[in-house]
Amino acid sequence: MELTKEKLLGFYETMMTIRAFESKAVALFAENKLPGFVHLYLGEEAVATGVCANLGTKDYITSTHRGHGHLIAKGGKVDLMMAELFGKATGYCKGKGGSMHIADVDLGILGANGIVGAGLPIAVGAAFASKYRKSDAVAVCFFGDAASNRGTFHESLNMASIWNLPVVFVCENNMYGISLCQRDHMNICDISDRASSYGIPGITVDGNDVIAVFEAASEAIKRARRGDGPSLIECKTWRQRGHFEGDPAIYKDPAEQQSWLEKDPLPRLAKRLIELKYATQTELDQIQASAAEQIEAAVKYAESSPLPALTDVLTDVYAG
């Protein structure tokens, strides 16, 4: 697959922006500046980046409780995201949704989701709409390993298959469902095995290699766009933090954590970009500095934004 310098540095920039956003969220949460829970995407940046690099604005994604990376990779605005994490009126959900409900329909981001496995049927609905309207838009559904145990997974893959819908199911297998190791919550190790039950292709790729993810997603999305139906991509990856910020992750083997840190997707890509002379270390440092600046500006925007007015407490909510 031909990859241009622009494309490759674009991968690095997106991954670095996600890394900067999430690293800042770690610090802000520790400083008690964020009013809600955050589930961070540190270590999984290559998945969202590699997949979303194949999508346009007209395409859809559904996300998870660990959604910041997906949103940024799909073009979400980091200042509005950060304001939402702060619970401010300028945030994506006017400060009432928090991390797990961020959406931007204009960008095809159909929402993060606090319910495990809830994005699957939404993506299938979006794909059905695309097919019904004779659009060539594709829906991509991100979900985790444990979500593939839920009934929504079965119903969604079955329906997508029988209707031959343009949807790509991207399982981010980070090996743990909250604190439960994968081997303790399912009796298989490759979630791609489940695809054959629905008569669709399923593959497994190295989710910490942005090029591998990009290639796989490129083929799956092209396939869906030309009307050849759904597929399942399992990306083996690792969340470097606990399930949520504040979770000490004592259930993880330190040696396993260390071995995955050595496969961190960002240094891996950086090393190869330098080897192939696509970038110098100085250029990569500049990208990192620029990402950090962007996130600092987002924090300033969030901090200087107002809280929702008391008079709006019943606006945009179902209760009342």
Partner 1 sequence: MALVGIIANPASGKDIRRLVAYGAVFDNLEKVNIVRRVLLSLASTGIREVVFMPDYYGIVPKAAEGISEKHRLQMEVSPADICITGTQRDTLQASLLMASLGVDCIITLGGDGTNRLVAKGCGTIPILPISTGTNNVFSVMVEGTIAGLAGGVVAKGTVSGFPAVQPSKRLIVYKNGEAIDSALIDVVILKDEFIGSRAVWDVERIVQVLVTQGEPHNIGISSIAGNLQPVSAQENCGLTIDFASNGTLVRAPIAPGLIEVVQVNSYRRIMIGERVAIREAPCVIALDGEREIEVQEKDNVFVQLAFDGPQVVNIRSALHEAVGKGYSRLPPAE
Show Cβ contacts of residue 99 under 8 Å, excluding neighbours closer than 6 positions: 34, 36, 37, 38, 39, 65, 67, 68, 84, 85, 112
- Which residue among 83, 146, 216, 299 contacts partner 1 (CB under 8 A)? 216
Could you tell me the smallest distance in angstroms from the CB atom of residue 9 to partner 1?
Answer: 14
Establish if 219 lies at the interface with partner 1 (CB under 8 A).
Answer: yes
User: What is the separation, in whole angstroms, between the first and last Cα of the chain?
Assistant: 55
- Sign of the CA dihedral running 276, 13, 232, 115: positive
- Sign of the CA dihedral running 293, 298, 301, 304: negative
CA atoms within 13 A on the CB side of 207: 27
Stretch that binds partner 1, among 60-68, 181-189, 279-287, 302-310 (CB under 8 A): 181-189
When the beta carbons of 57 and 259 are compared against partner 1, the nearer one is: 259
When the beta carbons of 122 and 213 are compared against partner 1, the nearer one is: 213
Establish if 181 lies at the interface with partner 1 (CB under 8 A).
Answer: no
When the beta carbons of 235 and 295 are compared against partner 1, the nearer one is: 235
Establish if 205 lies at the interface with partner 1 (CB under 8 A).
Answer: yes
CB 37 within 8 A of CB 242: no
Residue 104 DSSP one-character state: B
Establish if 261 lies at the interface with partner 1 (CB under 8 A).
Answer: no
Give the DSSP H/E element, type plus range, for residue 13.
helix 5-30
Establish if 231 lies at the interface with partner 1 (CB under 8 A).
Answer: yes
CB 102 within 8 A of CB 119: no
When the beta carbons of 113 and 161 are compared against partner 1, the nearer one is: 161
When the beta carbons of 178 and 203 are compared against partner 1, the nearer one is: 203
Map the footprint of partner 1 across residues 276-315, applying CB under 8 A.
Answer: 276
Stretch that binds partner 1, among 14-22, 91-99, 123-131, 196-204 (CB under 8 A): 196-204
Establish if 196 lies at the interface with partner 1 (CB under 8 A).
Answer: yes
Residue type, 138: V
Structure tokens at 245: 């910020």
When the beta carbons of 16 and 216 are compared against partner 1, the nearer one is: 216
Establish if 203 lies at the interface with partner 1 (CB under 8 A).
Answer: yes
CA atoms within 13 A on the CB side of 8: 19
Site of interaction with partner 1 (CB under 8 A): 1, 3, 183, 188-190, 192-193, 195-196, 201-205, 209, 211-212, 214-216, 219-220, 223, 231, 259, 272, 275-276
